[in-house]
Structure 1
Amino acid sequence: MGCWWRPWPRADLEVLAHTLEALSAIVRGSPALCEVDLNPVLVLPEGEGVVALDALNSG
């Protein structure tokens, strides 16, 4: 469980970090890519990952 003042489970921050690292690698490897917008990104409870609820890219 999360903190006493937050009754919901801990967020899957490790998977969020890996997701951001992977996205960074994609952007670095794609010079023609001008913009990436992931909004919102839902961080699920530990062990359940993350979900980009909407995404846009341009390039």
Structure 2
Amino acid sequence: MLSLRMDGELLDRVRQHAARSGMSVQDYVVRTLVREDFDERFSAAVDETERFYGLA
């Protein structure tokens, strides 16, 4: 379970983005968190591979 606190202005912006994507606010936030986590893990894996092969 995840609980988030945000002010009304941010919630309105998230609602707008979610609506454009045809998603609920909850689904939009979860999708965004998963995408960000994947991006960070992928970037870390690329960096580690480059260090291993001496490319960095």
TM-score range (shorter-chain normalised) is 0.3 to 0.5
How high is the TM-score relative to the length of structure 2?
0.42
The structure having more radius of gyration, on CA atoms, is: 2
How high is the TM-score relative to the length of structure 1?
0.41
* Structure with the bigger percentage of helix: 2
* Structure with the bigger percentage of strand: 1
Larger RCO (CA under 8 A, 6+ residues apart): 1
